[in-house]
Structure 1
């Protein structure tokens, strides 16, 4: 009895041990199935809980166990495991346009010339004949009040005789005498000449013409008149015998009745006749000079009156003049649109000379605008392009550029301050590429 009981207890112990092992094996199998994962042999970063294909290369996923040794993803390995397009995009530097105002400058080339406000014309008050000429060559110094010439004028002789007659016959008629004096003044006589006339009582047959300005004589034609085939002795005689010789009645003397146009040369000779209003002489005062420069029309809005200008002289490397812009005038000539910048030079300087070629730099501050580096813009000839980052890809957009300064270019339109663009637009294309822009 006791022996049977021991056998029964031994059988129960064996059954219990086997059942425990089966239960542990079942739990381990469930756990292994639940932790089973699948990965790509070429891209270990792809891990899924079920079989499938790799989204990168399309290979079938293989099972792997969580109990296996984990692979350490280093920086170099992570770079190699990136998709190709992500690697390229990551290597392209990007930036945003900056809103700012920059100091800018414009290089100009020009010439020194006279201040046109200081070029004066001395006209003939009356018609007559030049008896004696005291100004005979260009750039002859002239002072205010200096005698320029002596002119015989029948009209002036008659006016003098009328004044002498009134003073002698009707001295009480003050109003008429004053009117006659005023007539002489309008004909070019000075108060000193009128007083001398009244003192001597003799009419002068030649009246002196005095300069009302200081400066130098310019525009004189000092060459002799050219002979023409039609100049015959008879024509020459008729020209010398009366006013027709200088008034257009003969070809012997080419001086015309009307005064010469501005900038043309004046021809003065002793013995020639002049008409009322005809320019006798031009006088220029060189105390104030101009420097005139031509600039592109696009720079007109940048340079304003009063902008500082530094002028340099190619033949005098060490000399510089500080001046200011005095006037900006747009021009359109020969199909070219440009502007003329006029700079007034300091009056006390001794460097600038009329006719000198000079260089200048005008500085100014731009208005607040968007600026990007020059290499961020691709010039296609007819337009400029920048590459904007949208949805992970760079797309070309047309931009309008303005002033360029210090490797920066102003963006007038096409970009916003929040846009992200490629820092180097040249990196986005090669020699075989053709950029298409979506309008």
Structure 2
């Protein structure tokens, strides 16, 4: 009887051990929940953390770490690549609007009205009537008196032919034309034939109205003989009857139309040397810088309204006339030219101006200007992805009221923050995904 009891007790012990193992395995397989910020908080059912009130998340099967779900994936990103916030959002609107292009520029010379007087003959300046920079001159005003042996010889040749061969009109006409090529005017030649006495000094007259520029703007070199001068833009030559060659100025300063010209009484000049440069300020133009992204919105003939920061309330109406076909080195701005009205008395060379051009845009994406942030090297917007905001690079165009055109970087279905500035407190925060 005892052996049977031993066997029975052994069987009961094995049965109890098996049940205990199943209960242990069942307990081990139960899901436990913990706090991502406070791992010491563990419980057997979902809930919230008593410390930070965050939702509890399930632990992994092996109890190592927290299971990474889609809702928690953004927590693994760097802190400067996503923003968790509950702010107002907006969507890009596909539409066509009346946009405004803002431009900053400067008033410059019209290169067709910048002239230079080159010397027709070599000689010495006996008397100078133009002595300082920006001196106003009128057409026909005497500029200087020059002594030239070549002019004296040409006068004597004409007087000799008139006296000895008055019937040879062809030879006389050739001698008269030679004097004209040397810079003598018809009035000077007629006076020579009327008096019969050659003049040892010839007066040079201005054929243009305007202001003298680039004259004596630097100290003269300590040399004798021919003055150091340079070629520049074009006015007439010795006298009032010669032709002129205009040259274009590159800036609005006093030395922008060419290099400085030095003139002194007693100075010798050589053939072809520029004597005086004159600019007529009756017709000016304005050159404006336009961001490359807004260039497509403009075309030749686009009306612009020019305003003067120094003169509130003053403005001029003009039209885009010319697009510079290249970019200046190191700049990302295109240049456009606008001719100013001839009666623009408030406009002066070198004056800074602003302009607005109103253009009708093609259908495109438009967003509030506050939704776009310019960080210097890029323009970004904050795109909403899985309940978080990520910075994305965008390309902007024209502006219309409080809206701005998006040329690339967004789709009509995107959702972005209405106020991009609210999501960043410094430029170093933003790390744009490429």
TM-score by length of 1: 0.62
Match in the other structure for 2:140: 145
Partner of 1:214: 209
For residue 301 of structure 1, give the secondary structure of its aligned residue in structure 2: helix
Aligned pairs for 1:97-246 within 5 A = 98-221=93-216, 225=220, 245-246=224-225
Are the aligned partners of 1:331 and 1:337 in contact in 2 as well (CA < 8 Å)? no
Q: RMSD of aligned C-alpha atoms?
A: 3.9
Residue 314 (structure 1) aligns with = 309
Distance of 1:385 and 1:203 partners within structure 2: 82
1:269 aligns with 2:241: no
Compared CA separation, residues 366 and 272, structure 1 to 2 (3 A): same
> Do residues 256 (structure 1) and 224 (structure 2) align?
no
CA distance in 1, matches of 2:344, 2:419: 49
Equivalence map 1:60-75=2 (5 Å): none
Q: Within 5 A, what are the aligned runs for 1:292-307?
A: 292-307=287-302
How far apart are 1:434 and its partner, in Å?
10
- Give the superposition deviation at 1:121: 0.9
CA contact 1:112–1:352 (8 Å) conserved in 2: yes
- In structure 2, what is the equivalent of residue 342 of structure 1? 337
1:42-62 deviation line (CA, Å, top 9, x unaligned)? xxxxxxxxxxxxxxx99xxxx
Deviation at 1:155, TM superposition (A): 1.3
Match of 2:349 in 1: 354
Post-superposition offset of 1:119 = 1.3
Deviates further, 393-402 or 336-345: 393-402
Q: Please give the alpha-carbon distance, in whole angstroms, between the structure 2 residues aligned to 1:93 and 1:268.
A: 70
Classify the secondary structure of the residue corresponding to 1:363: strand
Q: Secondary structure at the match of 2:296?
A: coil
Count of aligned residue pairs for this structure pair: 323
Alignment match, 2:281: 286
More off after superposition, 284-293 vs 187-196: 284-293
Moved more, 370-379 or 200-209: 370-379
Alignment-derived partner of residue 79 in structure 2: none
1:329 aligned partner = 324
Question: Structure 1 residues 269, 414: CA separation in 2 closer, same or farther (over 3 Å shift)?
Answer: closer
Aligned to 1:420: 413
In structure 1, C-alpha distance between the alignment counterparts of 2:195 and 2:306, rounded to whole Å: 58
Q: SS of the residue aligned with 2:216?
A: coil
Q: Deviations over 1:312-341 (max 9, x none)?
A: 222322322222223232554452222223
Superposition deviation, residue 194 in structure 1: 1.2
Q: Which has the larger radius of gyration?
A: 1
1:338–1:207 CA distance, 2 compared to 1 (3 A): same
**Partner residue, 1:410:** 405
Give the match's secondary structure for 2:208. coil
Please give the alpha-carbon distance, in whole angstroms, between the structure 1 residues aligned to 2:112 and 2:127. Answer: 29
Q: Distance in 2 between matches of 1:400 and 1:370?
A: 11
Q: Relative CO higher for 1 or 2, CA cutoff 8 Å, sep ≥ 6? A: 2
Conservation of the 8 A alpha-carbon contact between 1:113 and 1:289: yes
Which whole-Å CA distance do the structure 2 matches of 1:379 and 1:217 have between them? Answer: 45
* Alignment gaps of 5+ in structure 2: 1-44, 47-70, 72-85, 234-256
Question: Using a 3 Å threshold, how does the CA distance of structure 1 residues 306 and 122 change in structure 2: closer, same or farther?
Answer: same
Unaligned runs of 5+ in 1: 1-56, 59-83, 85-90, 228-238, 240-244, 248-254
Q: Which has the higher helix share?
A: 1
Check the 8 A contact 1:94/1:420 in 2, yes or no: no
Calculate the TM-score normalised by the size of structure 2.
Answer: 0.63
Asked if 2 retains the 8 angstrom alpha-carbon contact of 1:260 and 1:266, the reply is no
1:204: Cα distance to partner? 1.4
> 1:128 Cα shift?
0.9
